[in-house]
Structure 1
């Protein structure tokens, strides 16, 4: 009787051991049903076929072309100009109280011919020949759908900070609805040089004197086309007598930071040398005329 009791007591233990060992054996022999994977060869084939169909679908390209089509309409330029003047930051900078330290300019080049709001006394007039030549940002891209209206620059006479408003359209896109990264780099290159030329701490007031030695660009968010971009640039340090470090940030119309950049600019004196050479050449050409008249 005692032996029988002991045997009965051992049975549950053995059953537990058997069940545990069976649990270990079942997965090995595929007894437990496996979960079906979502990404198998069938789903991959379906997605590949759908992607290929969308990529070669003329319907999508036609709809995108219709949506981004730009016509040369004079009213569109007036509309963009009104949109710029309605920007809250723009209104703050042109206000006689909040914007008393800011000088307003228009376009990248020919600053002596694009001064707005009677700010001539705050600027150095630039008359060298190179400022009259067509440039990428003021001639080639100055068309509807690209840079349709002249960029407006605000320069702070106290802090030497510059704030630039520039509108970029669908013609400057790399990917659909997104501005090309090369255009962003071009915009930053222009604003860095313009800030250095307007700064009171630099030695030259000519933009062509400055060369960007290195630049670091961090893209924070996609730069969607057909909007005004606000570029805030300032000098942070003078590394050498003619080497300056600047930072810049590109914001959307709503103030979201899209791009951050840092660059070092060197004053090469290239523009000043070219202006001096042109001046001496014209002097040599005109001296015989003045000499014969006396």
Structure 2
């Protein structure tokens, strides 16, 4: 069972002047423990439902570059980028750059996007959902071609690339792992089966019923497209309680593993603290040695 942190909040008490130092302190601690990945949200406005739109939010790929410079081991990625935020070649280039400069530690975390208020406020494209799925699939196809060093023209419904050169190629071969966020049964999980290395589900308090069902749907899609189900890393997003003990969270991780999940991506109600990272790392150690 892999355990990771997802940084969604940047409102540390000392304000923007100390934000870089606080972020560095948290990610260095994560890097020194057994945590697997440091994820960041890809938003321009704060989207955490426990916060407010005008709270501090950093641009994702600039932040990941900062994290790469202050870590040596943990993997790095977005949870998750909206496929409409950036032109596909720019996104692939950003992930490739992160991978090269971090020594092969980048993920491509991607989804359709959902935050209409953010899109309206910041002038970001957020077309109707069917078109977002079309753009997501084309972006995944473009990423696969660019990472395969295929420079031939791409002609899609939404994107046309005359000759997408991607140099240097990523260090992670055959390419940085691709995670698709979302639980939609007809389109999202089918795209996972077709194009992704990992899915991301949500921790819903129903005794595991929803997760079992979604994983069953994913398994059927894998069978339909001829993809081994075991190739896909099954991740789940969960929240660490403010007073939750390492033992308590380790028990939750064990329950996730029984459901067939491989990787827990953890958020907190506020900014990450050293205590919260330490409790999570202790829980991860206990899961590994159980």
More strand by percentage: 1
| Higher relative contact order, chain-length normalized (CA < 8 Å, sep 6+) | 2
TM-score normalised by length of structure 1: 0.23
* Length-normalised TM-score, structure 2: 0.24
